[in-house]
Amino acid sequence: MASAHAAGPITKNLPRLPVTEVLGDIMQALADGTRAVLSAPPGAGKTTLVPLALLDQVWCTGKIILLEPRRLAARAAASRMASLLGEQVGEQVGYRMRLDNKVSAKTRVEVVTEGVFARMILDDPELTGVSAVIFDEFHERSLDADFGLALALDVQSALRDDLRILVMSATLDVERVAGLLGEPPVIKSEGRTFPIDIQHRDRAPNERIEDAMTRAIVEAHANDTGSILAFLPGQAEILRTAERLANRFGPETVVVPLYGNLSQREQDMAIRPAPAGQRKIVLATSIAETSITIDGVRIVIDSGLQRLPVFEPSTGITRLETVRVSRASADQRAGRAGRTEPGIAMRLWHPGQTAALQAFTPPQILASDLSGLVLDLAHWGVQDPKGLAFLDPPPGPAFNEAKVLLTQLGALDPQGGLTEKGRLMRELALPPRLAAMAISAAEEGFGRQACLLAVLLTEQGLGGSDIDLDERLRRFRNERGDRADAARKLSDRIFSNLPRRSQSTETVLAGRLLLHAYPDRIALQRGGRGRFVMANGRGAELQETERLAASQMLVIADLTGRAAQARILAAAEISRADVEVELAGAIRESEECFFDRPSRQVRARKVTRLGAIIFEERPLPRPSGERAAQALADGVRELGLQALPFSKEGAQLRDRIGFLNRSIGEPWPDMSDEALLARLDDWFVPFQGGASGIDTINPGSLSDGLRSLIPHEVSQDLNKLAPTHFEAPTGERHPIRYDGEEPVLAIRVQELFGLKKHPAIAGGKLPLLLELNSPAHRPIQTTRDLPGFWAGSWKDVRAEMRGRYPKHPWPEDPAEAVPTIRAKPRGT
């Protein structure tokens, strides 16, 4: 009888590729156990050969699920495997993704996108009929892949101890992944690459990336042969580069784009081999880094940039940020040039910058909106993500914000459990905000329109690129093409899962629907045409030439950029009447006490508001008491402690207490800006009942507040441990500075004559740093050892100072001289 890992009929007929050398090791590992890790570079053949080889194994009686990070990669992998079997896609090898699927009763290898797998396992935790799950290109560390692996491991340990799990990657932190999987066998395929000549073309700091890329492409095209794969951060840069390359080459060269928003036909055209006698220039995003092969490429030009989503938990906004690629990504991109023959990789940065790149691209789970994950975890019966095996656990702030949002949307109950609405939201296969919108719209008879809008927002590029969502929705309804047809069918499927409601014949505007998805992004024009403030307090802008720039109110579905420069990408017009009808409970009328920054005063008003949006306000008499003090504290948080009128004594008091905190620690309180701002309610607010603005604060009240932070049991020790002044032998009092690491006394040297012991504080335990000054108060020398100074360098100081200040005493033995603040009597 053949061993469990012997080559079967399918394996014997597979082409020989680099990964062929380790297929036996993979089969052995999954025959002896249920988990394994495979590390193999691009082009090794792991995506197509490994799943097919597993079909020959005696334990493989059901399906093999192969996860791919992108739809393009999933279709390409399924097509290649089907061709190796001499079949069409949909027979033994098929694929399943959000807008398309080709599977049949014969299908044994099902290639799915990572999000589809998460839904499969959540809906069928036993993974009925599945023998193995393969996570391909796991190094990309998408949120869905991390979550899918955590779920698969949970299912394997609790329900399916026969389920095989294989994690495959081109560049992978193997030790961490193997540790997560319980140290299974780690198999490495060396792959096969031809020599790659890595070149650099440093880009000037102010040069646009499309200009640098165009120059490099023209140079490479003129100097070398073969097709070119150029990596750019996003669609906009690709289109601008394509414009610059127009008419640069003859008919033997074709320029094609490759990015996520293209139709399936356009993407397939980009990865198809160039016709005989032609060269191809493919302008691609990171979509072309792994999983797919573009035949004929022997020149890679890398911008060194990629566009990653960054989620801000405090505002619920995900913005795209252009960042440098990781070293692993740069290596992946360069490797594309050496797949079939020696190639060239041209990098548009200085060679010294490579070492500064991050080792790997940050995991998506660390910078993503986690509301969908939290909803799925609640469905799985998990409220704490520590209950699952995540390679990187979800960050606490984003996780908690997601729970707050889902509670507001009605998906979670106060205990964090899934509500009936939450269960329905999960079934809709939409992001939680859009799922909530569809459910609310269905209750009013607009469910079909809401589902169409939701699909439009989740499938980029549908309906064009207009910012006005009503215009995009109009175009989408009439748009032709396979992708638009598939998207409308998806909308119908989502609608069919909504509670049955009678459908209104009225056509509702997009803004009215979006109110239930993005109530925090309702925006009011403020500051002129195209400038808006959202209910969450953030500002957002439109170009003045945009039609929506004149709108009084919008609801914003998508925007990008940082807080001060957020740019609206998709929005719809609404009216206040819409808001009052749809979100009546969210509009509040109240009396507010607030800090007015321009006047630095506390003011009061009666307002009607929606979050940070103020619809109406009426001034009230100036407030006083604790409410005013609290508003004043808000002003201090806004302006910083430097705005407070500390007296010299108050500033010194703060320095003295802060010095003791740094020297002794507790119970002496921290006096740093951060600490005092955090404790304004303790030391500031109780002492400001009579102040109405920053300029009316009594400096003495600030000193009283600082003293209140000192525990009573040590308050009497302050003057002993950190006195305000030093009394010189002359009887003069000099202030001691405590603003540095050690206490400092600045004093004219003549006032210390006759002193044989170094001045100290804290019961003589802590010497002062003496800044010895001339009669003109200019620094002469610093010392922590006054007797040593008298006996040592005083001689040199005396020689220099006698000529400069002849009217003042400079005795040979200052330790025995009389201290003085005066010049020598005349004639001496």
- What is the count of structural domains for the chain? 4
Statement: residue 2 has pLDDT above 50: no
Which residue's structure tokens are 């025995």? 816
Q: pLDDT tens-digit profile of 728-756? A: 999 899 999 998 888 999 999 999 999 99
Q: Report, in this order, helix, strand and coil percent for the chain, each rounded to 5.
A: 40, 20, 40
pLDDT-based confidence at residue 551 (cuts at 50, 70, 90): very high
Q: Is 205 left (phi over 0), alpha (psi -120 to 50) or beta?
A: alpha
**Residue 585 has what pLDDT?**
82
Residue ending a domain, among 365, 393, 421, is: 365
Residue 132 maps to a domain: yes
**Residue 23 has what pLDDT?**
94
Residues 102 and 139 in one domain: yes
Residue 257 maps to a domain: yes
Residues 152 and 41 in one domain: yes
For residues 403-432, b (16+ Cβ closer than 10 Å) or e, as one string?
bebbeebebbeeeeebbebbebbbebbbbb
Domain that holds residue 270: 196-365
Mean pLDDT across 511-527:
92
Residue 554 maps to a domain: no
Q: pLDDT tens-digit profile of 616-659? A: 889 988 888 888 999 999 999 999 999 999 999 999 999 999 99
Residues 22 and 99 in one domain: yes
Residues 273 and 223 in one domain: yes
**Residue 1 has what pLDDT?**
32
Residue 703 maps to a domain: yes
Statement: residue 4 has pLDDT above 60: no
**Residue 406 has what pLDDT?**
93
Distance between CA atoms of residues 702 and 637, nearest Å: 15
Residues 700 and 735 in one domain: no
**Residue 536 has what pLDDT?**
87
Statement: residue 408 has pLDDT above 80: yes
Mean pLDDT across 549-572:
86
Residue 184 maps to a domain: yes
Q: Please state, in angstroms and as integers, the Cα–Cα distance from residue 549 to each residue in 533, 535, 543, 544, following that order.
A: 13, 18, 7, 6
Residue 393 maps to a domain: no
Residues 204 and 320 in one domain: yes
Mean pLDDT across 431-457:
92
Residues 706 and 777 in one domain: no
Q: Which residues contact 505 (CB under 8 A, 6 or more apart)?
A: none
Structure tokens at 39: 């590390």
Cβ atoms within 10 A of the Cβ of 496, count? Answer: 11
Distance between CA atoms of residues 30 and 40, nearest Å: 17
Mean pLDDT across 227-243:
93
To the nearest whole number, what is the mean pLDDT of the chain? 89
**Residue 486 has what pLDDT?**
87
Statement: residue 467 has pLDDT above 90: yes
Residue 507 maps to a domain: no
Statement: residue 600 has pLDDT above 90: yes
Residue ending a domain, among 312, 340, 365, is: 365
**For a pLDDT cut of 90, what percent of the chain falls above it?**
57
Q: pLDDT tens-digit profile of 663-717? A: 888 899 999 999 999 999 999 999 998 888 998 999 999 999 999 999 988 888 8
Statement: residue 172 has pLDDT above 70: no
**Residue 5 has what pLDDT?**
54
Mean pLDDT across 388-393:
92
Which residue's structure tokens are 């399936």? 264
Residues 222 and 131 in one domain: no
Residues 675 and 734 in one domain: no
Statement: residue 253 has pLDDT above 60: yes
Statement: residue 307 has pLDDT above 90: no
| φ, ψ at 343 (rounded to 5°) | -140, -175
Contact (Cβ atoms closer than 8 angstroms) between residue 117 and residue 67 = yes
Residues 752 and 790 in one domain: yes
Contact (Cβ atoms closer than 8 angstroms) between residue 210 and residue 240 = yes
**Residue 664 has what pLDDT?**
85
Residue 523 maps to a domain: no
Residues 179 and 91 in one domain: yes
Contact (Cβ atoms closer than 8 angstroms) between residue 425 and residue 438 = no
Statement: residue 3 has pLDDT above 50: no
Domain CATH for 32 = 3.40.50.300
Q: pLDDT tens-digit profile of 58-115? A: 999 999 999 998 888 898 899 999 999 999 999 999 999 887 889 999 999 999 998 8
Averaging pLDDT over each range in 337-341, 599-603, 624-628, which range is the top one? Answer: 599-603
Q: Which residues pair with 299 in a beta bridge?
A: 228, 344
Q: Which residues contact 66 (CB under 8 A, 6 or more apart)?
A: 47, 51, 77, 109, 110, 111, 112, 134, 136
Statement: residue 192 has pLDDT above 80: no
Q: Which residues pair with 67 in a beta bridge?
A: 112, 135
**Residue 784 has what pLDDT?**
92
Distance between CA atoms of residues 524 and 530, nearest Å: 10
**Residue 48 has what pLDDT?**
92
Statement: residue 826 has pLDDT above 50: yes
| φ, ψ at 515 (rounded to 5°) | -55, -30
Residue ending a domain, among 306, 340, 365, is: 365
Mean pLDDT across 339-350:
90
**Residue 7 has what pLDDT?**
63
Residues 686 and 735 in one domain: no
**Residue 338 has what pLDDT?**
82
Q: pLDDT tens-digit profile of 110-155? A: 999 988 998 899 989 999 999 999 999 898 888 999 999 999 999 9
Q: Is 529 helix (H, G, I), strand (E, B) or coil?
A: coil
Mean pLDDT across 319-335:
86
